[in-house]
Every structure is written in structure tokens, then in C-alpha cells.
Copies of this chain bind each other. A is one copy, B any other.
Amino acid sequence: MSLKLESPNNSNTSNQKEKHKPKPKRKPTTTMAPKTLNFITGNKNKLTEVKAILGSIVDLQSQALDLIEIQGTIEEISLDKCRRAAEAIKGPVLVEDTCLCFNALNELPGPYIKWFLQSLGHDGLNAMLAGFPDKSAQAVCTFAYSEGPGHEPIIFQGRTDGKIVPARGPANFGWDPIFEYESQTYAEMDKVAKNKISHRFRALEKLKAWLEESS
């Protein structure tokens, strides 16, 4: 799938139609840090985590939107979701996506991990790697920020290397029990320690630095 740069307004536009249209002007890239930011999430834990890091530099509001997610690369999916959110909110938005990438599967399930976790559970995800000697994986967090409708989003991505192991630790948060960082799974780790190395923390640090520089 090719990277689409049209605005969310034109998401139904066909290539065929585009042939007959004058070439659209390149849209302005988002460059301004906002004072208020709508974080699109229905997850209170994520909101708390993001507020803890960004709360001192931006007024973080949360909104739950039921946005479609397209198929594509991690970046294509985040950019598309951010454009749709900006269009729906009519203002500055922040969206977040979490992927679990198996290196033996060339980064898959990646953005499709939620479907695989839901269908297969922790044991099934381990079994998918039985035929591959390489059990290494990356936890990937991607934030995308847009100034508003028509502004190209900017991406801030954090990656944490680990490996897929049989589940250990409390099973109350997604795939945390099967992602091992050094000697502990995410689920086994102390929350403070986890938040210093997590994919989400690394992405948030980049976003924070950008907000500070651009404000």
C-alpha cells in the first residue's frame, strides 16, 4: 500500500479521479506546538501516563473517538488516524498506536497485534514463533500529532527491544506478560522501572522535547 498524503476529506478519492484533477498543493506540515492538545484515547491508564510526562508543558484533554484503522505500515496507519482525528475534532490532536513486532516475521504482526492477541492469546503468540529460532521482538509506540485539519501530522516513535517468552506476571494488560525486556517481562516489572525503558516512554520523551523546542 502506498503512502497516502491526501487530507481526510479526500480519503475516498480514487487515483483515477486524481488523474483528472490539478495536482494538489502540498499541505503545510505541522510545526507549531499547541497550548491545548486533544489526546484521542478511551484508555484512562494511557491518559495518566501521558499526562505525567506532558502535563507540565501542555493542557492535555482526552477525547474518545471511534476512528477506523487502515491496513498498511505502522507509519501509514498512524498518519491516517491522526488526519481523521484532526478532521473530527477540528483542532490539534494527538493519537497513539502500539505495535508488537516479531523480528522473525519481519515486524509482523506489528500493527495487527490486537487481532492476533485477541484470537490466539499468549500461548498462541508464542506458538506462532515455534518454527523460528529468532524470538526477538520490538515493542513500538507511535504518537502522531497534527495541528488541525489539513496539517500533515508529525510522528514520534519509541522502540524497545525484547523477546517473546511464555507468559509470566499478571495478565491484566495486553501482551505485557509475553514481552521480556532483559530478564523480566513487562508484566513482571515494577511500574516505575518499566516507565523508564518502555516504548511509550521513549516516544513520549521525543514528543516532549519537540513540544519544548517548538513552544
Contacts and interface: CB of A to CB of B under 8 A. Distances in A.
Interface stretch (A26-34, A43-51, A103-111, A179-187): A103-111
Interface residues of A, number: 45
Contacts of A131: 126-131
A119 interface: yes
Contacts of A11: 11-12, 68, 84
A88 B14 contact: yes
A41 interface: no
This chain: copies in complex:
2
B88 A12 contact: yes
A65 interface: yes
Contacts of A16: 63-65, 88
Most interface-central of A9, A67, A115, A132 (chain B CB within 10 A): A115
Nearest to A40: B14
Interface string A132-147: 1000000000000000
Interface string A150-166: 00000000000000000
Interface string A53-84: 00000000001111111110000000010001
A70 B71 contact: yes
Contacts of A106: 119-120
Interface of A: 1-2, 4, 8-9, 11-17, 63-71, 80, 84, 87-89, 105-109, 111-112, 115-116, 119-120, 124, 126-132
